């Protein structure tokens, strides 16, 4: 039986070797974009054959049955190694042409990691904008912003070809968890309502740029980041929703404020492109998701995971954040706030990507130091 299995394995190897390059003469055919999937299948076949052959060889050698020569054993091991390497390196899908949306992130390309696969534009960032953060907040839960690991496999995924949903999903009663869009500077945008259903802007939770940090120490906007128009220009997208449609500023390409927006706070423009439009009143960005999204636990999935340090804090009544200083070389940041007429500060330093050292200083000058590992 082992002799038969060994012969079968050898026969499969010869057949696969003969058919691996249909052009013959040992010369591989050119690999075109639409052939990537079949190359993937051959890579998997190499792995399967290598595993099968190795099992047969080991069993035959152990029980004294089929005894192949060293050359066949070496060939099987090479096939296994080649297959594993090919599977690890091959793209999951053909990338296709460069997405149009890619150019809208170009102004911040030095701060982002931009790529795409067959279906999504991939936006990698640390979610840590260059502008001051937290200043002006009067309703604060004592969290501070930390750079986040939104890169690699944890990057933002924006559909290249959005699909219109049969029924738009309202943001008034849904999607209170996580982001609904990503600004062109790589900072996520959340629902205008916080997780308690309150307008985050109206209750003083947002800073001068329309953002704050949440329980994950993650900085994000809750209103349209209109300040980005100064960088990208009027009539250009300032963000992309996670359904794939762009978010514009408060005016269209002609400089007019649109007055014919639908329930999603968007419209189909003359060029056939659907766009959301921002406003200075609720819903600020998106009234309902026009495109298809997958929802789990009241949030759009998949989306990147944050990496918090301290446990979530409680509201500090009467506090107003007055300053945010940064020393990027030392990876040290200082948040200052006023409480009952006295100045306090939190100074924190990143220790690589794994931990953060905090120093809390009260008005008397007394300091308390704490260290936390990031989760």
In this predicted structure, which of 61-70, 192-201, 238-247 has the lowest mean pLDDT? 61-70
Is 144 found in the same domain as 79?
no
**pLDDT attached to residue 64:** 54
Q: Which residue has the higher pLDDT, 265 or 33?
A: 265
**pLDDT attached to residue 51:** 54
Residue 128 lies in a domain: yes
pTM of the model: 0.76
Give the tokens for residue 186: 């790589």
Task: Please choose, from the candidates 56, 52, 80, 75, the residue with its C-alpha nearest in 3D space to the C-alpha of residue 67.
Answer: 56
In angstroms, the CA 81 to CA 89 distance is 12
Is 235 found in the same domain as 329?
no
Residue 313 lies in a domain: no
Is 74 found in the same domain as 143?
no
Q: What is the DSSP letter of 183?
A: E
Please give the average per-residue pLDDT across 163-167, as a whole number.
Answer: 97
Is 184 found in the same domain as 127?
yes
Q: pLDDT tier at 4 (50, 70, 90 boundaries)?
A: very low
Residue 355 lies in a domain: yes
pLDDT > 60? residue 28: no
**pLDDT attached to residue 36:** 30
In this predicted structure, which of 27-36, 57-66, 164-173, 304-313 has the lowest mean pLDDT? 27-36
Please give the average per-residue pLDDT across 176-201, as a whole number.
Answer: 96
Is 186 found in the same domain as 106?
yes
Give the tokens for residue 323: 């300053």
From 270, 301, 332, give the residue that closes a domain.
Answer: 301
Residue 237 lies in a domain: yes
**pLDDT attached to residue 71:** 59
Residue 123 lies in a domain: yes
The sign of the torsion formed by the CA atoms of 65, 70, 72, 75 equals positive
Is 273 found in the same domain as 174?
yes
The tens digit of pLDDT for each residue in 128-157 reads 999 999 999 999 999 999 999 999 999 999
**pLDDT attached to residue 31:** 27
Q: pLDDT tier at 96 (50, 70, 90 boundaries)?
A: confident
Is 292 found in the same domain as 334?
no
Is 326 found in the same domain as 187?
no
Q: What is the mean pLDDT of the chain?
A: 83
pLDDT > 90? residue 370: yes
Please give the average per-residue pLDDT across 111-129, as a whole number.
Answer: 96
Please give the average per-residue pLDDT across 343-360, as a whole number.
Answer: 97
In angstroms, the CA 322 to CA 319 distance is 9
Residue 190 lies in a domain: yes
Cα 337 to Cα 6, 81, 340, 350, 357, distances in angstroms: 75, 59, 10, 21, 19
When divided into structural domains, the chain yields a total of 3
**pLDDT attached to residue 189:** 98
Of 43-47, 70-74, 123-127, which has the strongest mean pLDDT? 123-127
Task: Please choose, from the candidates 138, 139, 146, 101, the residue with its C-alpha nearest in 3D space to the C-alpha of residue 119.
Answer: 101
Please give the average per-residue pLDDT across 268-275, as a whole number.
Answer: 96
Name the one residue in this structure whose structure tokens are 């986040």: 148
From 38, 59, 89, give the residue that closes a domain.
Answer: 89
Residue 84 neighbours by CB distance under 10 Å: 15
Is 205 found in the same domain as 140?
yes
Is 104 found in the same domain as 84?
no
Q: pLDDT tier at 226 (50, 70, 90 boundaries)?
A: very high
In angstroms, the CA 161 to CA 118 distance is 10
Q: In what order do the strands lie in the sheet with 239-241?
A: 211-213, 219-221, 188-190, 179-183, 239-241, 246-248, 274-277, 266-268
In this predicted structure, which of 85-94, 227-236, 288-297 has the lowest mean pLDDT? 85-94
Domain of 54, in residue numbers = 2-89
**pLDDT attached to residue 118:** 87
Give the tokens for residue 275: 């766009």
243-244-247 Cα angle (round to 5): 100
From 301, 330, 351, give the residue that closes a domain.
Answer: 301
Residue 309 lies in a domain: no
Is 64 found in the same domain as 165?
no
Helix, strand and coil percent figures for the chain, each rounded to 5? 25, 25, 50
Q: pLDDT tier at 239 (50, 70, 90 boundaries)?
A: very high
**pLDDT attached to residue 95:** 81
Is 137 found in the same domain as 31?
no
**pLDDT attached to residue 144:** 97
Residue 158 lies in a domain: yes
Give the tokens for residue 93: 């899908």
**pLDDT attached to residue 131:** 96
């Amino acid at each position: 039986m082992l002799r038969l299995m060994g012969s079968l394995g050898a026969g499969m190897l010869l057949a696969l070797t003969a058919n691996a390059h249909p052009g013959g003469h040992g010369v591989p055919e050119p690999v075109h974009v639409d052939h990537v999937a079949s190359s993937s299948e051959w890579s998997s076949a190499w792995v399967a054959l290598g595993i099968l052959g190795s099992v047969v060889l080991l069993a035959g050698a152990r029980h004294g049955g089929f005894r192949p020569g060293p050359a066949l054993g070496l060939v099987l091991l090479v096939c296994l190694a080649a297959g594993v390497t090919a599977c690890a390196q091959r793209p999951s899908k053909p990338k296709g042409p460069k997405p149009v949306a890619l150019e809208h992130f170009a102004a911040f390309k030095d701060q982002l990691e931009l790529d795409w696969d067959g279906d999504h534009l991939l936006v990698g960032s640390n979610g840590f904008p260059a502008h001051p953060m937290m200043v002006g907040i009067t309703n604060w839960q004592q969290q501070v912003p930390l750079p986040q690991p939104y890169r690699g496999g944890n990057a933002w995924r924006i559909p290249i070809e959005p699909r219109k949903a049969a029924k738009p999903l309202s943001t008034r009663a849904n999607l209170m968890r996580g982001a609904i869009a990503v600004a062109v500077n790589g900072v996520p945008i959340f629902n205008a309502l916080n997780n308690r259903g309150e307008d985050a802007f109206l209750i003083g939770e947002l800073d001068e740029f329309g953002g704050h940090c949440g329980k994950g120490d993650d900085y994000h906007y809750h209103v349209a980041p209109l300040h980005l128009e100064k960088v990208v220009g009027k009539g250009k997208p300032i963000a992309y929703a996670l359904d794939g449609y762009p978010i514009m500023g408060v005016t269209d390409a002609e400089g007019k404020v649109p007055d014919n927006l639908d329930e999603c706070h968007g419209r189909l423009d003359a060029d056939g492109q659907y766009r959301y439009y921002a406003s200075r009143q609720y819903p600020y960005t998106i009234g309902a998701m026009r495109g298809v999204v997958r929802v789990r636990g009241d949030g759009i999935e998949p989306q990147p995971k944050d990496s918090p340090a301290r446990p979530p804090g409680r509201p500090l009544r009467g506090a107003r954040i007055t300053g945010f200083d940064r020393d990027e070389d030392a990876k040290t940041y200082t948040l200052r706030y006023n409480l009952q007429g006295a100045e306090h500060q939190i100074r924190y330093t990143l220790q690589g990507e794994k931990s953060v050292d905090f120093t809390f200083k009260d008005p008397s000058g007394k300091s308390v130091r704490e260290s936390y590992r990031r989760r």
